[in-house]
A and B are shown apart, each in its own frame.
Chain A
Amino acid sequence: MKPDPMTPAEPTEPPNPPLSRTARRRNRIVAMTFLVIVWVLLWGTFSWANVISGLVVAAILLAVFPLPPVTFAGRVHPWGALRFLLRFLRDLVVASVQIAWLALRPRHIPRSAIIAVKLRVNSDLNLTLTAEALSLVPGSLILEADRNTGTLFIHVINVDSLAEVEKFRHEVLALEARIIAAIGSPEELRQVRAGSTPPPPVDLEGATT
């Protein structure tokens, strides 16, 4: 049967392919482990009674509120994760001092911008982590995320010129690269390196004016 030219083509690569059995099981184990850790931390003491009751609570929670599938193709790179963490802590301090200074600075109204940045790796996990980290590093706040294209819409505070906005775009992609270096798969690392010259923001050719 000839394809109907009017219907748009199916996207060749869905952003969230269905998970394999082993991936689903691994996700459940990871979720379970974290829920048990939270449970034990809430009780404050490590005892087998706490761990076992935590396992029961986690099993019930996961059965009643199943988690959406998360594709995690990579593995944790300790060195990359450490570098991301240190840089993140530094950024958090810089961001807080910057906002505090902006707040106390007399007679100054900060200008801002809203930019769209298309991430190079379009997975839910990367989108989420980048958005979360962005909100805590200097200047940026996540405003909206487009899951289909992997685009983040970011509010940038304290920019004075379009050149600074462009510079900020590069910083977002650098943050994404650090996250991928911490938890990415070889395939995702390759994608980031291949796209190290950042793509144009978002094509707006189809925009209705």
Chain B
Amino acid sequence: MSLDAVLDIVAAFCLISGALLSLAAGVALVRFPDLLTRMHAAAKPQVLGLLLVLVGAGLRLRTGVDVTTLVLVGIFQLATAPVAAHMVGRAGYPQDDIRGDLLLTDELAAHLDRVAGEREDAARA
């Protein structure tokens, strides 16, 4: 078997598994109960799915100009996906979009209460 054929097979494997992971992320978006659990789906299988698709595309293209762009896409995806998840989670946190009944413990609520209490004390003093 030639090297090209091996690379093509690896690329096909990467592309298909990446697509399947992205599909799973989509299913998770529909099926998960609340905003924060959905953000998990957007942050993990989606990122790995994209990385695998990028690797597959890179193995098929095999030209320097395209591969460097793919590398950049991967790096920025890794760097920005957690930030996006953080921003969405933080914006949605105190609202009803989050199922409090599914939470075992919530230490952020206590923290926010304390911060609010300190602000009140400072305003009173």
Contacts and interface: CB of A to CB of B under 8 A. Distances in A.
A144 B117 contact: no
Contacts of B111: 116, 146, 151, 153, 202, 204
Interface string A32-64: 000000101111110000000000000000000
Contact of A41 (B48, B71, B125): B71
Interface in B95-125: 102-111, 113-114, 116-118, 125
Interface residues of A, number: 53
Nearest to B44: A95
A176 B109 CA distance: 24
Contacts of B107: 114-116, 153, 201-202, 204
Contacts of B110: 204, 207
- Interface magnitude class on chain B: 35 or more
A202 B72 CA distance: 38
Contact of B108 (A109, A110, A153, A165): A153
Interface stretch (A16-24, A66-74, A156-164, A183-191): A156-164
Contacts of A113: 103-106
B50 to A, nearest CB: 11
A196 interface: no
B73 to A, nearest CB: 10
B53 interface: no
B55 interface: no
A103 B41 contact: yes
Nearest to A42: B72
A142 B86 contact: yes
Interface of A: 6, 38, 40-45, 92-93, 95-100, 102-104, 109-116, 131-132, 134-136, 138, 141-144, 146, 151, 153, 155, 157, 159, 161-162, 165, 201-202, 204, 206-209
